[in-house]
Amino acid sequence: MNRPRPDHCQTHSVVIGAGIVGACTALALLREGHRVTILDPGAPGGEQAASYGNGCWLSPMSVIPPAVPGLWKKVPGFIADPLGPLAIRWTYLPRVLPWLARYLASGWTEQRVLRTAVALRALLRDAPAAHAALAEEAGVGALIERRGLMYIYPTRAEFEAEALAWRIRRQVGIEWLELPAEELRQREPALDRRYGFAALVEEGGHCRDPGAYVAALVALAEAQGARRVAARATGFRIEAGRLRAVRTEAGEIAADRAVISAGAQSKALARAAGDRLPLETERGYHAMIEDAPVGPRTPLMPSDGKMSITWTNRGLRCAGQVEIAGLDAAPNWRRAEILRDHLLRSFPGLPRDLPAERVRLWMGHRPSMPDGLPCIGPSAATSDVIHAFGHGHVGLVAAPRTARLVAQMLAGRPPETDQAPFSPRRFR
């Protein structure tokens, strides 16, 4: 059991948002001896959060940002094909253009991609072990599995076509095993024969139920003394550069510190703390088959679908797709059906005549900064309010170290990894 440190006994910190980032942050602050309130109108681990429906990958090798050199050539296709793996709704295009320009610029050269990869590697390194320890402490150790993650390709040529990504992974210290067709088939007997090459990253892990995991972490925080308030934060009362209270729809909560970890909904809160930050939602989907009779032994990412296929306690989940259409547009369930169909094609042993109630579809919001790096650092209005959002495609895996960085910042200690690449100041 962690004992409060006396120097922080009086510090009351409000964590806004109980997704994976907020849950880990609440625990890290409790460990430092803060008095913690967790504020979220939704249930921790509920379907409203990206942390519920993601691909479950704890992938310390997810260091390549979505934008890579030459991506700009594909933009017309992203707009023309509403069902492609990356699509931009043309009605939303005028609003998202500035973000899109920064997004493409951040991956313009290999040097820039490498810079992002170095920063992400520092954030993600050892993450599966950190999650395993947290889950163990929360009494749900079985939710974290560490048996590697596998990228699969039709042939070695498709793997080699992604040479830039793998070259950069190697440069930042990521290792993998290359598996020819025969070995892949031995390891994954149920997988469709069109895949004949794989790269297995043994340091990767996965979570068998991210929603239940977040709920367990929040329950652990409550057991350690955190208070949970079911309300939406609307802003801050800041006087003479110090935080006095977090404003909510249900009134004010007096507070000394606050952490903005409201995922894709963090933009207005950041604005209330003095920062105009280019946070966008990269909407994503999952399709999940309950009681699937076959599936992968190791979580897989097929190169021809750019989605993850992972067993979860709720079913066989296929997650992916990027849709730029804003927070408010209705889901396009056709996109989730594309994932389902890909899953069926990847595992011929899955029944073709699945009744609708055995396939669950979900849409959620990746909180994405244009440069592929989260915002972790003090707000412009006061260093009492810390930004901890914008983790895009890696929020699940990145949460434990993000939480520790926030706790170290609030304690005035030097951060365990260079915080500069994540500083919100890079956009000021």
Asked if residue 396 binds ligand FAD (CB under 6 A), the reply is yes
Asked if residue 382 binds ligand FAD (CB under 6 A), the reply is no
Residues binding ligand FAD: number (CB under 6 A): 43
Quick one: 217 or 344, whose CB is closer to ligand FAD?
217
| CA distances from residue 277 to 15, 242, 269, 273 in whole angstroms, order as listed | 19, 21, 10, 11
Which range touches ligand FAD (CB under 6 A), out of 11-19, 154-162, 168-176, 217-225? 11-19
When binding is defined by CB under 6 A, the residue of 57, 166, 236, 347 that contacts ligand FAD is 57
Asked if residue 284 binds ligand FAD (CB under 6 A), the reply is yes
Burial 314-343, CB ≥16 within 10 A → b, else e:
ebbbbbbbbbbbbeeeeebeebbebbbebb
Give backbone dihedrals phi and psi of 199, rounded to 5 degrees, phi first: -120, 115
How far is 270 from 40, CA to CA, in rounded Å?
A: 16
Quick one: 8 or 286, whose CB is closer to ligand FAD?
286
How far is 297 from 292, CA to CA, in rounded Å?
A: 13
Binding-residue pattern over the window 330 to 369 for ligand FAD, x denoting contact by CB under 6 A? ----------------------------------x-xx--
Helix, strand, coil share (%) of the chain residues, nearest 5:
40, 25, 35
Quick one: 56 or 140, whose CB is closer to ligand FAD?
56
Quick one: 87 or 182, whose CB is closer to ligand FAD?
87
Asked if residue 148 binds ligand FAD (CB under 6 A), the reply is no
Place of tokens 């609440």: 26
CB 30 within 8 A of CB 36: yes
Binding-residue pattern over the window 235 to 274 for ligand FAD, x denoting contact by CB under 6 A? --------------------------xxxxx---------
Asked if residue 106 binds ligand FAD (CB under 6 A), the reply is no
Quick one: 48 or 423, whose CB is closer to ligand FAD?
48
Tell the smallest beta-carbon distance from residue 240 to ligand FAD (Å).
25
Which range touches ligand FAD (CB under 6 A), out of 29-37, 46-54, 174-182, 235-243? 46-54
Q: Write the CB contacts of 413 (distance below 8 Å, at least 6 apart in sequence).
A: none
Neighbour-count burial of 353, counting CB atoms closer than 10 A to its CB (0-12 exposed, 13-18 middle, 19+ buried): exposed
Tell the smallest beta-carbon distance from residue 180 to ligand FAD (Å).
26
CB 116 within 8 A of CB 67: no
* Binding to ligand FAD, residues 300-329 (CB under 6 A): 308, 319-320
How far is 334 from 47, CA to CA, in rounded Å?
A: 19
Q: Which ranges of 245-348 does DSSP label H, i.e. alpha helix? A: 267-272, 333-346
User: What kind and span of H or E run contains 402?
Assistant: helix 395-411
Q: Can you give the binding site for ligand FAD, defined by CB under 6 A?
A: 16-22, 39-42, 48-51, 54-57, 232-233, 261-265, 284-286, 308, 319-320, 364, 366-367, 389, 391-397
